[in-house]
Amino acid sequence: MNKLKILYTIVACWLLSAKCYAQNFSIGSSLTAAAFGSVNLEVSGAISGKVSLHLPLLWAPFTFKENQKLKLFAIQPGARWWFWHVYSGFFAGTYATYARYNAGIYSYRHDGYATGISLSTGYTRMLTRRWNIEIELGGGLFYTDYDLFLNEQCGEYLNSISAVRLAPSKVNISIVYIL
């Protein structure tokens, strides 16, 4: 019985001594992605005073006139290291990406997916106690596999393409609410 009390005391002291952070979670949206017609949301949580985990989601379900379309679902789980403290100042990040797309603009339609890893950097400016504005730029290495069609109604199948590409992955100006 005494060993159990000692164990409870040690666990209680450890939990009470854990460092608390005033800003633990955030939710944001990329104004850049919204300007291109995508519904997007990013949730994040601080795991220390310098590191946060992020989960951005992007969805574009649009078909325009003359079979022009931009259908996209992307998820980019990642982490950021903050130079000052979480949700303020400069940061560097890394992300994994999965995207499923069906995009037809101009003469061709691409129907496939992409996966990859990327690095990013950015700056977050605190506007108020709860609101931030954030700028982020990033790029990475992606494997893509897609079918190529003529961009017309029931367009002719042309080819299947698999490739590794270096491409931009983040070009964001975001508004962020700190919970």
Terminal alpha carbon distance of the chain? 42
Confidence class for position 148, pLDDT limits 50, 70, 90: very high
CA–CA distance from 120 to each of 166, 171, 176 (Å)?
Answer: 13, 9, 17
The reported pLDDT for the residue numbered 68 is: 80
Q: Per residue in 104-127, is it b (16+ CB within 10 Å) or e — as a string? A: beeeebbbbebebebbbebebeee
Nearest to 105 by CA among 161, 160, 167, 151: 151
Whether 115 has a pLDDT exceeding 70, the answer reads: yes
The reported pLDDT for the residue numbered 169 is: 93
Whether 162 has a pLDDT exceeding 70, the answer reads: yes
Give pLDDT tens digits for 125-142.
999 999 999 999 999 999
Looking at every residue in the chain, the average pLDDT score rounds to 88
CATH of 2-178, one of 3.30.420, 2.60.420, 2.40.160, 3.90.320: 2.40.160
What is the identity of the amino acid at 72? L
pTM: 0.81
β 78-82/69-75 pair status: unpaired
Residue percentage of the chain with pLDDT more than 90? 72
Confidence class for position 154, pLDDT limits 50, 70, 90: confident
How many residues are given for the chain?
179
The reported pLDDT for the residue numbered 11 is: 53
